[in-house]
Amino acid sequence: MPFMHFGCAGGAASLSWASDWVRLHSRQSALVVAVEVPTLTFRPGDTSADNLLSVLVFGDGAGAAVIGSEPAAGCIGIGRTASRLVASSTEALGFERADDGFRVVVSRQLPRLIELNLPALVREFAGDPAALDVVAAHPGGQAIVDSVVRCLGLEERQVAATREVLKTTGNTSSAGILFVLDELGAHLPDRAGQGIAAAFGPGLTVELLELLWA
């Protein structure tokens, strides 16, 4: 499987593939590891606002998760998964090769693009977002999280884990969703529940995971 150029969506995509693999290999487990060093993309010769913004938005980080084949109390399970590519969005997010490294592409229209497309994708995948216990969104920045909350009509309790990770850890690209799920797992409600994880990558790609716990 090609594990390349998934950017911030890489952690969610890897969890999706790992959960599929575990379903096909009973009594086995899978280890997902996401390691990100976005500081390598900093180009000192580029003093543009976009280059400086990319340094402020992204941080280095690493996270890991073990996917098991048997449900465990107090753990988050992964149900259905989906990967969607938003049409005509290739200029919204990604990288471009430059003579002195990689140029980060983060369109200022990205929050608006998410608001225009995410509601239909989520409703097709999981129904009414208001009925979900949690939405574990990629902590891509204040504007991104605010856009997710606004366009899905969420309450702050539904994105509490995302807000906490954004405040304490920030945007560590693909590893970010693993931190959000870790924070969510530490504060699961006593009752059974359902939610989704959503991460955004180059394309614009939207990775969706159904989250379940008992």
Domain-by-domain residue ranges, the chain? 7-213
Q: What band does 210 get if pLDDT is binned at 50, 70 and 90? A: very high
**Do 23 and 47 form a contact (C-beta atoms < 8 A)?**
no
Interatomic CA distance for residues 92 and 113, integer angstroms: 8
Catalytic residue among 6, 8, 67, 135: 8
- For this structure, is 8 an active site residue? yes
**The whole model's pTM is what?**
0.91
Average pLDDT, the chain: 90
**Do 180 and 137 form a contact (C-beta atoms < 8 A)?**
yes
Q: Which amino acid is present at 108? A: R
Residue 164 has pLDDT above 80, yes or no: yes
pLDDT tens by residue, 41-82: 888 888 887 777 777 888 999 999 999 988 777 789 999 999
pLDDT tens by residue, 79-132: 999 999 998 887 777 777 778 777 777 777 888 999 999 999 999 999 999 999
- CATH T-level fold of 7-213: Peroxisomal Thiolase; Chain A, domain 1 (3.40.47)
Interatomic CA distance for residues 31 and 172, integer angstroms: 19
Torsion over CA: 18, 40, 101, 58 (sign): positive
pLDDT tens by residue, 11-30: 999 999 999 999 999 889 99
Alpha-carbon distance values, 51 to 76, 101, 113, 166 (Å): 37, 12, 21, 21
